Amino acid sequence: MNALNLTDIGHAFLGRTVLDRITLDIGEGELVALVGPSGCGKSTLLHIAAGLIDPRQGRINRSYARHAVVFQEPRLLPWATARKNIGMALPEGLSSRNRHSRILAAATAAALEEDDLDKYPVQLSGGMKQRTAIARALASEADFLFFDEPFTALDPALRRHMQDIVIRHAGNGKRSGLFITHDMAEAVRTAHRIVVLDRRGNGILGERYIPLRPVERDDRMIFETVQHFMKADPLFAHVEELDERRSA
């Protein structure tokens, strides 16, 4: 059973095709990392999948109950505290005690301190804001998570910690997800499968399943898999060369 089916998706901006006949299925409990050269349409595809953009062509079938999106930038409400921002994702009608414990659990999972919860976004560092956005997604108890390069602004140690959260919450087979990243090590560490988009709407170049469950992979296995993909696998060989910024 698939959590998400994207069939023959096509899209254009200002008459320029950015996606053409993209078909991608994501199974229940599967986390797919989407990689590809800059400008190839990864974010556009994710936004279409999450219902934020209507595609020009194609069909979308969602079998999950609820989704949450974590963007490259935190997108917090500036007039609300971190607690209120995280709490926005919770269903109505929870007791205040239940509400408090769920906000705290999500904040703790995202490495925020309880003291941070009463701060406004302007009082939080860039990394703390992004962790608040991640906590908001976790608090929602969505069964499908969309991640659009959510950890780019974080330092390496925190980034690794956030990847562990993804593995725990979306790589454990209970939730499904679509994760955009430019970092192959992040893709190999967190996802079940890597899908590579070709440039300028040319469709999906190919895909690779990563051995073992994310939780079972160790650093050595991740390193060796990344080395193999980058040095010996033709699928990944031209992603760098195709980058829109290089050919501009």
Ligand X SMILES: Nc1ncnc2c1ncn2[C@@H]1O[C@H](COP(=O)(O)OP(=O)(O)OP(=O)(O)O)[C@@H](O)[C@H]1O
Given the rule CB under 6 A, which residues bind ligand X? 13-14, 18, 36, 38-44, 244
Smallest distance, Å, CB 182 to ligand X?
A: 6
Nearer to ligand X, 102 or 159 (CB): 159
Smallest distance, Å, CB 36 to ligand X?
A: 6
Nearer to ligand X, 152 or 172 (CB): 152
Smallest distance, Å, CB 51 to ligand X?
A: 16
Smallest distance, Å, CB 159 to ligand X?
A: 17
Nearer to ligand X, 56 or 168 (CB): 56
Question: How are beta strands 67-70 and 2-13 bridged, if at all?
Answer: unpaired
Nearer to ligand X, 42 or 192 (CB): 42
Spatial distance between the Cα atoms of 34 and 182, rounded to a whole number of angstroms: 9
Nearer to ligand X, 37 or 87 (CB): 37
Smallest distance, Å, CB 237 to ligand X?
A: 18
- Using the CB atoms, write b or e for 157-188: b if 16+ within 10 Å: ebbeebbbbbbebbbeeebbbbbbbebbbbbb
Stretch (H or E) spanning 159: helix 156-170
Nearest to 137 by CA among 119, 98, 168, 110: 110
Alpha helices in 174-240 (DSSP H): 184-190, 219-232, 234-237
Question: How are beta strands 2-13 and 16-27 bridged, if at all?
Answer: antiparallel
